[in-house]
Amino acid sequence: MYLAITLARLEDFDNACSAYDKALELDDGGGDYLTHLNYAVTLLNNDEQERAAEHYASFKKIFEALDPDTERDQEVVASSQALENSLGASS
């Protein structure tokens, strides 16, 4: 995932997507919620709203299934809310 984030910040969208896809492929459980969240942000930043919404939905499904007693990272929660607002505005 870190390679994908770095490539996205370097504005290498195609290779960033390939790196995200590979990270998700290597995770037998369907992907880490942070990978889906970061992938959705990258997609939205590159005008790929539909694909961003798909990865955001995957993020939400995994994130909401976490143990309710687990403390939620406030940065993740804030990023999720901002992404949800952006996806809602772009629909």
Which pLDDT score is estimated for 54?
97
Counting other chains too, the contacts that 6-14 makes at CB distance below 8 Å and 24 or more residues apart are 8/38, 8/42, 8/45, 13/42, 13/46
- Which tens digit of pLDDT belongs to each residue from 33-90? 999 999 999 999 999 999 999 999 999 999 988 887 777 888 999 999 999 999 986 6
Q: Break the chain into its structural domains and give their ranges.
A: 2-90
Which candidate, 14, 85, 8, 20, places its Cα nearest to that of 53? Answer: 85
Which pLDDT score is estimated for 30?
66
Helix (H, G, I), strand (E, B) or coil at 17: helix
This prediction has a pTM of 0.89
Which pLDDT score is estimated for 14?
98
Tell whether domain 2-90 is in CATH 3.30.160. Answer: no
